[in-house]
Amino acid sequence: MESAAQRANPDHSMKRSHKAAATLFRPLGAPPRGKSRAAADDNPALQAIWHIVCAIPRGRVSTYGAVARAAGLPGRARQAGLALRVAPRAMQLPWHRVVGAGGRIVFPASSPAHREQTRRLRAEGVPVKAGRVAASALTDLETL
């Protein structure tokens, strides 16, 4: 149901969505607002996700959901995304090897993050076309 503020200002929901997008696409290695880096480093779930991402071989990719399942966190694909976002830069995680369901790069097509992920994947020999990686590049994390 639309509120009076939304009816009076149709751009209201757009402002909120831009704010949410800015939070979602925080630079890699930046801690979420209100949370310290130490809190992220001490979280066993995040550490499990980081371990799985490090195991994805060069030239292969996996999905956020598969990474979460392999880390023992089924149904927590978003937590896999959070783990990559808050990972310390010094860890040098291969974040670019994790894509959305169906092999889709989840960043907006015109964003610097999308271009960087595409560049890194292609440098490893992963075919990327129209924002998706080839299905042949997806790896089964259960066999790692």
Helix (H), strand (E) counts: the chain: 7, 4
Length of the chain: 144
* 3-state SS assignment for residue 60: coil
- Gap between the Cα atoms of 92 and 88, Å rounded: 8
- Gap between the Cα atoms of 101 and 66, Å rounded: 9
- Gap between the Cα atoms of 3 and 23, Å rounded: 24
Q: Which residues contact 55 (CB under 8 A, 6 or more apart)?
A: 141, 144
Positive or negative, the CA dihedral 33, 39, 40, 43 is negative
Residue with tokens 């979420």: 32
Does the structure show a pLDDT above 70 at 20? no
Write the pLDDT tens digit of every residue in 65-120: 999 999 999 999 999 999 999 999 999 999 999 999 999 999 999 999 999 999 99
Write the pLDDT tens digit of every residue in 105-123: 999 999 999 999 999 999 9
Confidence class for position 136, pLDDT limits 50, 70, 90: very high
pTM exceeding 0.85? no
Query: What are the structural domains, with CATH classification, of the chain?
Result: 36-143 (1.10.10.10)
Write the pLDDT tens digit of every residue in 29-45: 555 554 545 556 688 99
- Gap between the Cα atoms of 128 and 47, Å rounded: 29
Does the structure show a pLDDT above 60 at 17? no
- Gap between the Cα atoms of 22 and 135, Å rounded: 30
Going by C-alpha positions, the residue among 113, 114, 105 that lies closest to residue 133 is 105
CB 106 within 8 A of CB 34: no
pLDDT at 15: 45
